[in-house]
Amino acid sequence: MQYFPIFIDTTSLTCLIVGAGSVAARKLELVLKTEAQIIVVAEHIDSAVATLAQSSQVTIHQRKFKDSDLANIGMVFVCTADAVLNQHISVQAKQQNILVNVVDKTQLCQFITPSIIDRSPITIALSSGGAAPVLLRHLRQKLESIIPQGISKLGAFAQASRDTVKRALSSVTARRNFWEGIFEGDVAELVEKNQHDKAQALFDKTLAATVSGEKHVGEVYLVGAGPGDADLLTFRALRLMQKADVVIYDRLVSPQILELVRRDAEKLYVGKAKSLHTVPQNEINTLIVEKAKQGQRVVRLKGGDPFIFGRGGEEIASLVDAGIGFQVVPGITAANGASSYAGIPLTHRDHAQSVVFATGHLKDDTVDLNWSALAHANQTIVFYMGLTGLSIICQKLIAHGLSKDTHIALIENATMPEQRVVAGTLNNIESLAQNADIQPPALIIVGSVVSLHSSLNWYNSQKTKIEP
């Protein structure tokens, strides 16, 4: 390891920047994030440097560099185009034990600046020693995508609570185990969501329970898994899935998404197939409550979005009644996922100025909907769970004013590699669906926008069947 990574306390540091061009501006912007006092020396001052120098941390000397500028300096960045001057400053700084960085000249540097992910007080620095800057940038982008923005709040919370925990728990091991539970659990989620009072109350309760050996009640996360494609999960959904003790999931959660759940989590299937309810809803509600009361982190993983035909409202009502904390993580609903992957915009200025989501779920062999409100030519209708009632849906829409030639599409296994789209009209879609043997899960889209499918379809087009 050629470069030893360290973090320098900047509270009493004075940093010199020689040069005031665009490169110097980038260094100045970086150092301004610290508590250091900054001196800039240059004959010509770039406008970007002048703007940044309005900070009280910065003093500018518009003149040539002098050796005396290194007096009482702890760190220097050399950002000039004068190679002779750059080498001279490097030699002088090293002789005086001043940390020196000459931009783009690693052989003249005593230190190099890493790529930084700033979530102060949490700071992550990465370096390739100049060997692979593009790879370094690639790694930083990956880390940026998985480290929550709210981690800074969690770092500050931990800093403020550190002495309290140290007084309460004398064992290093006990403190480590306690903090691991905090960072992986509900307190961290509350802090990151700015619910500080709730976080503090739960933290105090958890610490007291740890000291006394009691077990606290867990929390439930109602998580939307999206339409099927694992790439469409939100970062928050993925993070909670990988922290869960128990995952209760339904039939519309794809195997690819289940693969992302924490390996040692308990996985409980409560799915519902067409005309077959594996577990009644009231039993699902009871199961969620029971697992949370055992002190476990419970993820209720639902296909699509929990609040759009997902019975999420019913489930959290039971949690409210039981006094159990919960959070809701939205997901990409099936309508958005299916329409996007089928190349069918739900709204379009030339076709539809409104969109309606409706359930096509049969009850007593009927689809009880406000058909007169649905049957409008300039409106898109999306039916969830409507495959069984397809015949009734087509009949009712025609009876209430839609033309039998109105475009309609069935989308099976939306967003997945096996996605199929069958498009036709209200008059012929039943026979097309039968010939194609369309099976649930399938979404129905009705309206003029479906006519755009043939030209806008970008995904899996070889499995599309269309009849004008």
Under a CB-based contact definition with an 8 Å cutoff, are residues 14 and 73 in contact?
Answer: yes
Same domain, 460 and 436: yes
Q: Which residues contact 403 (CB under 8 A, 6 or more apart)?
A: 377, 426
Is 92 part of a structural domain of the chain?
yes
pLDDT of residue 463: 56
Please state, in angstroms and rounded to a whole number, the distance separating the CA atoms of residues 327 and 240: 11
pLDDT tier for residue 239 given thresholds of 50, 70 and 90: confident
Across 367-406, b (16+ Cβ under 10 Å) vs e yields bebebeebbbeebbbbbbbbbbbbebbbebbbeeebeeeb
Under a CB-based contact definition with an 8 Å cutoff, are residues 304 and 332 in contact?
Answer: yes
The string of DSSP codes covering 440-451 is SSEEEEESGGGG
pLDDT of residue 70: 97
pLDDT of residue 277: 55
pLDDT of residue 273: 58
In degrees and rounded to multiples of 5, residue 66 shows phi and psi of: -125, 150
Looking at residues 117-138, what average pLDDT do you find? 87
Under a CB-based contact definition with an 8 Å cutoff, are residues 384 and 408 in contact?
Answer: no
- pLDDT tops 60 at residue 462: no
Looking at residues 203-223, what average pLDDT do you find? 85
User: Which of left, alpha, beta for 32 (phi over 0: left; psi -120 to 50: alpha)?
Assistant: alpha
Under a CB-based contact definition with an 8 Å cutoff, are residues 424 and 392 in contact?
Answer: no
- Say how many C-beta atoms besides its own lie within 10 A of residue 118's C-beta: 12
Give me the percent of the chain exceeding a pLDDT of 70. Answer: 95
Pairing relationship of beta strands 407-412 and 442-446 according to DSSP bridges:
antiparallel
Is 419 part of a structural domain of the chain?
yes
pLDDT of residue 274: 52
Is 128 part of a structural domain of the chain?
no
Same domain, 227 and 282: yes
Is 412 part of a structural domain of the chain?
yes
> Element (H or E) spanning 322, and its range?
helix 312-322
Give me the residues paired with residue 40 across strands: 17, 60
Higher pLDDT, 34 or 462: 34
Same domain, 31 and 88: yes
Q: Considering only CA atoms, give the Rg of the chain.
A: 30
The string of DSSP codes covering 179-234 is HHHHHHSHHHHHHHTT-HHHHHHHHHHHHHHHHHT------EEEEE-BSS-GGGS-
Cite the active site residues.
250, 272
Same domain, 363 and 325: no
Is 73 part of a structural domain of the chain?
yes
Is 417 part of a structural domain of the chain?
yes
- pLDDT tops 80 at residue 341: yes
| Alpha-carbon distance values, 405 to 394, 397, 399, 445 (Å) | 11, 11, 13, 14
Q: How far apart are the first and last CA of the chain?
A: 67
pLDDT tier for residue 379 given thresholds of 50, 70 and 90: very high
Same domain, 239 and 315: yes
pLDDT tens per residue, range 289-337: 999 988 888 999 999 999 998 889 999 999 999 999 899 999 999 999 9
- pLDDT tops 60 at residue 6: yes
Q: Shortest CA distance to 228 belongs to which of 446, 387, 417, 356?
A: 417
Give me the residues paired with residue 381 across strands: 356, 446
Please state, in angstroms and rounded to a whole number, the distance separating the CA atoms of residues 184 and 92: 49
CATH code of the domain in which 182 resides: 1.10.8
Please state, in angstroms and rounded to a whole number, the distance separating the CA atoms of residues 85 and 93: 12
Same domain, 174 and 233: no
Give me the percent of the chain exceeding a pLDDT of 90. Answer: 65
pLDDT of residue 320: 94
Is 414 in a helix, a strand, or coil? coil
pLDDT tens per residue, range 156-203: 999 999 999 999 998 887 888 789 888 877 888 889 888 999 999 999
Is 21 part of a structural domain of the chain?
yes
Looking at 298, 332, 366, which one is the last position of a domain? 332
pLDDT of residue 364: 61
pLDDT of residue 466: 57
Is 302 part of a structural domain of the chain?
yes
Looking at residues 387-406, what average pLDDT do you find? 93
pLDDT of residue 363: 62
Same domain, 248 and 287: yes
pLDDT tens per residue, range 97-125: 999 999 989 899 999 888 888 888 889 99
Please state, in angstroms and rounded to a whole number, the distance separating the CA atoms of residues 215 and 217: 7
Looking at 187, 212, 237, which one is the last position of a domain? 212
Is 435 in a helix, a strand, or coil? helix
Distance of alpha carbon 462 from its chain centroid, rounded? 32
pLDDT of residue 444: 96
CATH code of the domain in which 65 resides: 3.40.50.720
Looking at residues 43-64, what average pLDDT do you find? 96
Total count of domains within the chain: 4
Q: Which residues contact 172 (CB under 8 A, 6 or more apart)?
A: none
Same domain, 92 and 33: yes
pLDDT tens per residue, range 256-274: 999 999 888 899 999 765 5
CATH code of the domain in which 369 resides: 3.30.950.10
Looking at 332, 351, 385, which one is the last position of a domain? 332
Q: Shortest CA distance to 26 belongs to which of 13, 40, 11, 14?
A: 40
pLDDT of residue 362: 63
User: Which of left, alpha, beta for 160 (phi over 0: left; psi -120 to 50: alpha)?
Assistant: alpha
Half-sphere exposure for 173 (CA within 13 Å, toward CB):
0
Higher pLDDT, 144 or 37: 37
Same domain, 325 and 364: no
Q: What is the mean pLDDT of the chain?
A: 90
In degrees and rounded to multiples of 5, residue 267 shows phi and psi of: -115, 125
Same domain, 352 and 459: yes
Is 350 in a helix, a strand, or coil? coil
pLDDT of residue 242: 87
Same domain, 322 and 401: no
Same domain, 400 and 458: yes
Higher pLDDT, 253 or 1: 253
What's the domain range around 270?
220-332
